[in-house]
């Protein structure tokens, strides 16, 4: 039997973040990763914990002021600002560029809730990172 709705994603970005967020160490650097959506063309956002609070702040700026114009970018927070776009009611952004970097996709109506959730995790992520060092 085939599921007719097998390719349809019905979970909210907040639910997906709650299911996928983790903190881990790799090569001496501590990262937080989470996905905002599932399915083809999606993947986890991996951010150094040292950039996490600023990355969440960058999303909060977008939630409050809208998507900024392009600018010269280097860090994760700056990448979010540069790559944020709105298309068909979905905001997408990347925390890094390069091979394998997948965009996070969040329904525009859920952005404030996602920002609130992530803001509430900053201290827990930083605490988890300390326990890994």
pLDDT in tens, 9-64: 568 999 999 999 999 999 999 999 999 988 877 788 999 999 999 999 999 998 98
DSSP-derived secondary structure letter, 20? H
The answer, yes or no, to whether residue 69 has pLDDT greater than 70, is: no
Domains of the chain: 13-125 (3.30.2450)
Whole-model pTM: value is 0.62
Q: E strands, 16-129, where? A: 22-26, 29-34, 45-48, 85-87, 90-93, 104-107
- β-partners of residue 34 are 45
């Amino acid at each position: 039997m085939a599921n007719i709705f097998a390719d349809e994603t019905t979970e909210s970005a907040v639910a997906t973040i709650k299911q996928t967020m983790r903190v881990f160490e790799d090569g001496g650097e501590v990262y937080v990763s989470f996905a905002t959506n599932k399915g083809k063309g999606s993947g986890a956002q991996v951010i150094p914990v040292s950039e996490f609070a600023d990355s969440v702040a960058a999303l909060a700026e977008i939630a409050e002021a809208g998507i900024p114009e392009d600018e010269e970018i280097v860090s994760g927070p700056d990448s979010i600002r540069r790559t944020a776009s709105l298309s068909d009611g979905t905001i997408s952004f990347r925390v890094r560029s390069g091979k394998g970097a997948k965009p996070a996709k969040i329904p525009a109506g859920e952005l404030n809730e996602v920002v609130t959730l992530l803001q509430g995790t900053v201290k827990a992520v930083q605490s988890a990172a300390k326990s890994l060092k």
